[in-house]
Amino acid sequence: MRELPEAIDRQIPQKSMPVARLKRRADFLRAAKGERFHARAFTLQATVLTEAAEPAQTAAPARFGITVTKRIGGAVQRNRIKRRLREALRLSPDLSACPGRDYVIVAKAEALTADFQALRADLANAIRKIQRPGRQQVSVGKPARRKTTPGCR
């Protein structure tokens, strides 16, 4: 087998461990009731799994979910944003995400055009800031509903 030159070998990204994902709607809704941090390209929501949850889950690694609403654009733009955010998570194994916490990244339109290194830095900063000791907890009650006029969706 042929060896790759050293310069080419350095350009090939190293594989890292896959990030644990949120898959159930209930997990996304629970995170929406937790803490929030607003960045330029996304909003990060986080919640701690309660002791009422399964004991094995509280020691589990941090789980991440990504949400991109239809307001952002068509399917192509939404999928591209999700791929960029997933890759930013995958390439940042040194994130200070706490085990036993669920994180949801709610993308904004800026996530499509933002510089990738800035996106990674914002993600690391958001995770670090959201779990600061003494940070205020967002109220857990129902969010206020907006009044809509007939015909508006």
- List the Cα angle 34/127/61 in 5-degree steps: 80
- 35 has which bridge partners? 46
**pLDDT tens digits along 26-42:** 999 999 999 999 999 99
Q: Return the pLDDT at 108.
A: 96
Per-residue pLDDT reduced to its tens digit, 84-112 = 999 999 988 777 888 889 999 999 999 99
Residue 146: pLDDT band (50, 70, 90) is very low
| Domains of the chain by residue range | 18-130
The pLDDT of residue 24: 93
3 state SS for 50-95: CCCCCHHHHCCCCEEEEECCCCCCCHHHHHHHHHHHHHHHHCCCCC
Residue 37 buriedness (CB in 10 A; 0-12 / 13-18 / 19+) = buried
Note the CATH architecture for domain 18-130: 2-Layer Sandwich (3.30)
Q: How confident is the model at residue 8 (pLDDT cuts 50, 70, 90)?
A: very low
Pairing mode, strands 20-21 and 101-107: unpaired
CA–CA separation, 108 and 105 (whole Å): 9
37 strand-pairing partners: 44
**Helices and strands (DSSP H and E) totals, the chain:** 6, 5
